[in-house]
Amino acid sequence: MSVVFFNSLRISVISTAITLLIAGVYAFALTHSRMPGRGFFRAVALMPLLTPSLLPGIALIYLFGTQGFFREALFGHSLYGPIGIVMGEVFFTFPIALMIVLTSLMTIDRRLYEAAKTLRAGRVRTFFTVTLHAMRFGLSAAFFAVFTKVFTDFGVPITVGGSYPVLATDLYQKVIGGFDFQMGAVVGILLFIPAAIAFLIGHLLQRGHSAGIDGSAVIYIPEKSRGRDIACFVFCAAVAAAILGILLMAVLGSLFKLWPYNLSLSLASYNFTAHESSGWSAYGNSLKLAGGTAVFGTALIFFGAYLLERMPGAAWMRAVIGFLCMVPLAMPGMVLGLSYIFFFNNPSNPLGGIYGTMTILILSTVVHLYTVPHLTALTSLKQLDPGLEAVGSSLKVSRFVTFGRVILPVSLPTILRIASYLFMNSMTTISALVFLYSANTKVATISVLLLNDNAMLGPAAAMSVLIVATSAAVVSLQWLLMQGLLRRTNAWRGKEA
């Protein structure tokens, strides 16, 4: 047991360190250089968010597995095991780290640099005292966010973990393989505690930091430096190439007829009905899940945030519920799924009827993904003038009308962002669902898992590509809608929302 725990710990620390290093330099390059293509690099960096965590594992098998195209690059070591896991996790958590660090770098006041220059501080000194100092909070917050993600991730270790056990896969084996619920609960708790601790620390850090943002800060514009720009460009190009490489490998892998002996291209892997008794229904189920979560989740979360933020009275109740809304972020998906089996599959539970249906999948996913959209909604609602309800009341109009006619339309971009976040994450999530799916509610990510289980790499890659494509389509749709909307409904703000 302790072996597994320390494996997870080790992997998480190593992987997080590497990710932070790469993300840190990448973020620096994006904000503190004048290299060309920054927009492009930024977009590419966010792409792993669209993928289920199974995808990097599968792509890595094609690249560095026993028959992989670049297997020599590992100098004789096997991909399966810690090496593969770390590689997959770095890919998967890179955007998360980047976004956090980027935020901290972007808010550096230019005047600090000017002051440093006036005081004749050298470039290196300035870097350490200004840049790195500001990154401090970002890096620490990113450390805990990434650590939690890696520690609790299931998709990467299950595809490339080989015989190296980690908590997530151990939990799966105990519950699914042996139906040992007892030990399953124990492993689940072991998974939960570090995640909860990391979450708490990260949360406290973020709170401390946000006090430091000064509204009158001036954004930093880097001075010219050819050498630095070239170095940054090369670095970012390498990282972007790695990310795109993994994505493309997955696509390519799905097109091989019979890897590794027949590399002719064909769409045979996409013919799911031939490989899988449920055929395309898994994909259909994913769409149902994602759609249901997006619709139900957005309504619930946004209205919930509204209640918490803008309702008068009931202060302690709002505080308690507000706290509860944060808890899901500390819960690893697998632990949530496991606890749902215990709670809902109990014959004495009146709600037990939902076990095995799409409802429980949607419910668990909404709870699992609750916190981030909740915070987004809160932030957005805080920015609205507190007097709105008062105005509505003085016009003798009900609160609900105020909500419907003023608050909703103005918050539309936020609502869209939340819906798209929920949709995207539901398409790619697997951890909570591995324990809750049943014969007719198998979703695409589970299908990928089962296909990989049977060493049917091509169809697994194909289904993963399908998932990514769907997420990408929805995100693009959301982005387009946003552009149009922002212009119309947010003109009153005067600046970018």
Partner 1 sequence: MMTPKLGNRLRVFCAGLMISGATIAGIAPAQAEELTVYGAKAKDHFAELIAAFQAKEPDLKINQLLDSNGPIIARLLAEEANPRADIILGAAVPGLVMLEERGMLEPYAPEGLDQIKDRFRDRRSDPPHWVGTDAWASAVCFNTAEGERLGVPAPQSWQDLTKPEYKGMITMPNPNSSATGLLAIVGWTEIFGEEGAWEYMDALHENVSQYVHSGSKPCRMAAAGEAVIGISYPAPGVKAINNGVPLSVIIPEEGVGSEVEGVAILKGARNPDAARRLADFAASQEGHEIHNKYYALVGRKGVSNPVPNYPEGEEEALVDVDFYWVAENRDRILAEWQERYGRKDEPK
Partner 2 sequence: MVTPANTMDAPARKIRVSTSGEDLLLRLCLIALGVFLVVGLLLPIYTLLSKGVQDADGNFVGLQNFVT
List residues near partner 2 by CB under 8 A. Answer: 1-2, 181-183, 185-186, 188-190, 192, 300, 303-304, 307-308, 310-314, 317-318, 320-321, 324-325, 327-328, 331, 335-336, 338-340, 342-344, 346, 351, 363-364, 366-367, 386-387, 389-390, 392-393, 398-400
- Tell me how far apart the alpha carbons of residues 445 and 464 are, in angstroms, rounded to a whole number: 7
Over the window 206 to 245, marking each residue x when it contacts partner 1 by CB under 8 A and - when it does not, the resulting string is ----------------------------------------
Q: Which is nearer to partner 1, 195 or 362 (CB)?
A: 362
Contact residue for partner 1 among 129, 266, 438, 483 (CB under 8 A): 438
Span near partner 1 by CB under 8 A; candidates 16-24, 329-337, 453-461, 469-477: 453-461
The total number of residues written for the chain in this structure: 497
For the record, the structure tokens of 219 come out as 């954004």
Told to check if 84 binds partner 1 by CB under 8 A, we report no
To partner 1, the closest distance from the beta carbon of 194 in angstroms equals 18
Contact residue for partner 1 among 48, 65, 138, 202 (CB under 8 A): 65
- What is the DSSP-derived secondary structure letter of residue 217? P
Task: Fill in the amino acid letter for 44.
Answer: V
Place of tokens 């570090």: 194
Told to check if 284 binds partner 1 by CB under 8 A, we report no
To partner 2, the closest distance from the beta carbon of 497 in angstroms equals 22
Told to check if 274 binds partner 1 by CB under 8 A, we report yes
The Cα-based distances of 245 to 95, 143, 242, 249 in angstroms read 16, 25, 5, 6
Q: Which is nearer to partner 1, 228 or 275 (CB)?
A: 275
Q: How many CB atoms lie within 10 A of CB 273?
A: 10
Contact residue for partner 1 among 225, 359, 489, 490 (CB under 8 A): 359
- What is the DSSP-derived secondary structure letter of residue 435? G
Q: Which is nearer to partner 1, 216 or 394 (CB)?
A: 394
Q: How many CB atoms lie within 10 A of CB 86?
A: 22
- Tell me how far apart the alpha carbons of residues 186 and 141 are, in angstroms, rounded to a whole number: 28
**387 binding partner (options partner 2, partner 1, none; Cβ < 5 to 8 Å by kind):** partner 2
* CA-closest candidate to residue 326, choices 365, 283, 366, 374: 374
Q: Which is nearer to partner 1, 33 or 445 (CB)?
A: 445
* CA-closest candidate to residue 208, choices 72, 339, 62, 104: 104
**63 binding partner (options partner 2, partner 1, none; Cβ < 5 to 8 Å by kind):** none
Told to check if 349 binds partner 1 by CB under 8 A, we report no
Angle at which helices 281-310 and 412-428 cross, to 10°: 140
Instruction: Using DSSP, state whether 345 is helix, strand or coil.
Output: coil
Instruction: Characterise 356 by phi-psi region: left (phi > 0), alpha (psi -120 to 50), beta (else).
Output: left
**66 binding partner (options partner 2, partner 1, none; Cβ < 5 to 8 Å by kind):** partner 1
Q: How many CB atoms lie within 10 A of CB 123?
A: 10
Q: Which is nearer to partner 2, 406 or 485 (CB)?
A: 406
- Under 8 Å between Cβ of 188 and 335: yes
Told to check if 320 binds partner 1 by CB under 8 A, we report no
To partner 2, the closest distance from the beta carbon of 211 in angstroms equals 20
For the record, the structure tokens of 151 come out as 């520690």
The Cα-based distances of 178 to 159, 331, 411 in angstroms read 19, 23, 48
To partner 1, the closest distance from the beta carbon of 18 in angstroms equals 22
Q: Which of residues 150-209 bind partner 1 (CB under 8 A)?
A: 157-158, 161-166, 169-170, 172-173, 176-179
Task: Fill in the amino acid letter for 190.
Answer: L
- Tell me how far apart the alpha carbons of residues 257 and 265 are, in angstroms, rounded to a whole number: 6
Q: Which residues bind partner 1 (CB under 8 A)?
A: 61, 65-67, 80, 157-158, 161-166, 169-170, 172-173, 176-179, 258-262, 273-278, 292, 295-296, 299-300, 303, 347, 353-354, 356-360, 362, 396-398, 400-401, 403-405, 408-409, 438-440, 450, 453-457
